[in-house]
Amino acid sequence: MIALTKAKVLGYLTAIFAAGVLAGGVGGYTLARPKAGKPPPPPEPKEMAKHTIDRLEARLKLTPGQVGKIRNIVEQSFAEAHYRSGIHFKEVGEVFRKMNAQITEQLNSDQKEEFDRMEKERRDKMRGWGRPPKPQPPPSSTSELKDGTNCPSPGERAR
């Protein structure tokens, strides 16, 4: 039999550990790399237009006549935006501003108010999209006082 010294055992264990680290690193890098670098492709213009029309129809309670007119506006705008997205991003924004103005022309006053709310919600949701989140302020150092509020009474403020 082969006699194993402490040095040989330690050498074998180190080699096994190094092989495991190397295999894990290569495997993890290989599996994670395709996912990290490629976002999913954007939906087709027809899919986005259908989603937008369905949302407008539900929220604005559009009449059948309005749906037909707005469908044409939205489908043409999404097709144009898709074409222009390869040219310049600012042009895409202009396409959607024009689309919103054309849609507004087809709405009554109540629908216009709701449409404005929808656009505000969309802008608020998209604000900061693609940017890292802002750091949150640290939690306040005030603790709950005797009366269950975080505000000291006028007498406690003086202390």
* In-domain check, residue 121: yes
Which is nearest to 111 in space by CA: 74, 51, 66?
66
Binned at pLDDT 50, 70 and 90, residue 3 comes out as: confident
Contact 115, 107 (CB under 8 A): yes
Binned at pLDDT 50, 70 and 90, residue 92 comes out as: confident
Q: How far apart are CA 49 and CA 60, in angstroms?
A: 16
- Quote the pLDDT of residue 87: 63
DSSP E strand boundaries for 2-138: none
Q: How far apart are CA 86 and CA 65, in angstroms?
A: 33
* In-domain check, residue 131: no
* In-domain check, residue 12: no
- Quote the pLDDT of residue 132: 62
Average pLDDT over residues 116-142: 73
Binned at pLDDT 50, 70 and 90, residue 36 comes out as: low
- Quote the pLDDT of residue 146: 54
Q: Number of folded domains in the chain?
A: 1
* In-domain check, residue 21: no
For residue 127, give the 3-state DSSP assignment.
coil
Binned at pLDDT 50, 70 and 90, residue 28 comes out as: confident
Structural domain range at position 82: 45-126
* In-domain check, residue 97: yes
